[in-house]
Amino acid sequence: MQHFSHLPPDARERLFLRPPQPVGPDAPPVVLAHALGATLYCPATRPAMAADLARLSGRGLLSAVACLEDSVPDDRVTEAEEVLVGQLAQHRRDVEDGLARPLLLFVRVRTPDQLRCLAERLGDGLERVAGFVLPKFGAHGQPEPEEHLAAVAEVARAAGRRMWAMPVVETADVLHRETRLEALLRVRDVLAAHRERVLAVRTGATDLSAVHGLRRPRGTTVWDVRVVADALGDVINVLGRLDGTGFPVTGPVWEHFTSGERLFRTELRQTPFEENDVRELRTRLLRDDLDGLLREVELDRVNGLVGKTVIHPSHVPVVHAMSVVPHEEWCDARDVLGAGSGGVMASAYGNKMNEAKPHRAWAERVLARADAFGVAREGISVVDVVAAQVDAVEGVRVELPVVAQRSVEVPA
């Protein structure tokens, strides 16, 4: 699997100074976690799931979740399981016949018993399942967190291969201040005991908001909902540490995909679209509220999150474009990591200070993202990457700019 492999070679050549690297299902967890990118959730009741996966994997989707939990009404769970078994069997055949590209596919289950029973019923279809998403993963969840992870371990042993777990931190004990630290420390200890099978920690902003009856409207981000943002900060602090005790923490769901009346003016500047003569693309982003998604992904990354949970195919190219490492950021990270003895230096772009020791962990994260999503050439922006993906999918030619390149030595 490789991000942006659906783009034509000339587009990839013009976009990337350093292209995304291929990644396989047996890659180290930190590599796979960064490669998840935009993880598309869909209800397991969807009768055309296999066809959707075939189509969307050819348009750049690399990770998806078939959900048997909150997206499925309680009285349709049995139906959803039957649909999922049939659709995953079809998806397996499609991949074998070359009709669909492989992707990282997960199943979100309700209980450990459902996980075990479903794995048996899937039969050969389990071959296309990379792992399971474990909801309501709190200190005193129902069921207990250990039971979920034990079920994943049992299924992995029976399958004879590694299967990943992605717990979702979204319970009230994580949101409430007086129980949060105890809950997160308990979750940390449980995950540490199963470190070899935990791919990433997912964050459930919708469930966390629901504790207080909140929902972020269009024009705002999850970071504007202070009670949720405070909880997310502590999740990152306890579960996302870079000292060997933490895990990658993914960005919460973006749940808007069409726009109604706009109350506030957008922060999405016109100039980058006018310069590339793609004004219609800006109109489309505004119409579909994707300017809000752009802003939230940026804030996710500033706060240490990777990837993003999404619920509509239109979100995928935006998240992936935002994940490409800009040329300036790559130059800074390279300079920081090249200063082995520490010290401080002006950035290659002459607009900031790079301090080798404090910025080293940040630079290493940039390199991990660069492996998954590539490094943009100088002068290439998010607009260019989104436009190239629209071009590839819809056949609408969007010319990319030819820009003078900085002399940069690219490490092997």
Domain-ending residue, one of 293, 323, 353: 323
Q: Are residues 300 and 356 both part of a single domain?
A: no
Confirm if 372 and 21 have CB atoms less than 8 A apart. yes
| CA–CA gap between residue 312 and residue 143 (Å, rounded) | 30
In a domain, 400, yes or no: no
| CA–CA gap between residue 52 and residue 311 (Å, rounded) | 13
pLDDT at res. 140: 67
Q: Are residues 162 and 34 both part of a single domain?
A: yes
Q: Are residues 346 and 251 both part of a single domain?
A: no
Q: What angle do CA 282, 390, 223 make, to 5 degrees?
A: 55
Domain total of the chain: 2
pLDDT at res. 348: 84
3 state SS of 143 = coil
pLDDT at res. 392: 78
pLDDT at res. 284: 57
pLDDT at res. 269: 57
Q: Which residues of the chain have pLDDT under 50?
A: 262-264, 277, 396-412
Q: Are residues 111 and 202 both part of a single domain?
A: yes
Domain-ending residue, one of 323, 353, 370: 323
3 state SS of 300 = helix
Q: Which residues pair with 134 in a beta bridge?
A: 167
pLDDT digits (tens, 9 = 90+) for 21-42: 999 878 889 999 999 999 999 9
In a domain, 368, yes or no: yes
In a domain, 399, yes or no: no
| CA–CA gap between residue 371 and residue 32 (Å, rounded) | 10
pLDDT at res. 23: 92
pLDDT at res. 272: 59
In a domain, 143, yes or no: yes
pLDDT at res. 404: 35
Q: Where are the beta strands (DSSP E) in 257-337?
A: 306-310
Confidence (pTM): 0.88
**Nearest residue to 306 (alpha-carbon basis) of 350, 249, 222, 266:** 249
| CA–CA gap between residue 190 and residue 184 (Å, rounded) | 10
Domain that holds residue 182: 9-323
pLDDT digits (tens, 9 = 90+) for 143-174: 788 999 999 999 999 999 999 999 999 999 99
Looking at this protein, which amino acid is placed at residue 271? T
Q: Are residues 331 and 316 both part of a single domain?
A: no
Query: By CB neighbour count within 10 A (0-12 exposed, 13-18 middle, 19+ buried), where does 393 fall?
Result: middle
In a domain, 150, yes or no: yes
